[in-house]
Amino acid sequence: MKQVPDMISTKDLSYLEDMFNWHFTLCKKAIDYSELVSDKNIATFFNKVAEEHITICKKIVEKLG
């Protein structure tokens, strides 16, 4: 089994940055949509979606730290 290097290549860092941006954008959109709908069940759904994406963003940042 290969050992994971301590350094991240620029290509890997770029990919992680892209992943973070995708999830962060989806989080922001879900929050915006939750504020636009009048149905509380749908708003709750969008808030859960936002929470899932922010959790992924936090995991990506933890991997970099």
Dihedral sign, Cα of residue 45, residue 50, residue 56, residue 62: negative
Q: What whole-number distance in Å separates Cα of residue 52 and Cα of residue 24? A: 10
Predicted confidence at residue 18, as pLDDT, reads 95
The pLDDT tens digits of the residues spanning 49-59 come to 999 999 999 99
- Here the tokens at position 50 are 């936002």
State the alpha helices, DSSP H only, in the chain.
10-36, 40-64
Domain ranges of the chain: 12-64
Q: pTM for the whole thing?
A: 0.81
User: Residue range 2-15: average pLDDT?
Assistant: 81
Q: 17-46: per-residue pLDDT in tens?
A: 999 999 999 999 999 999 999 999 999 999
Q: Is residue 60's pLDDT more than 60?
A: yes
The pLDDT of residue 1 is: 52
First to last CA, the chain: 24
Q: What is the DSSP letter of 3?
A: P
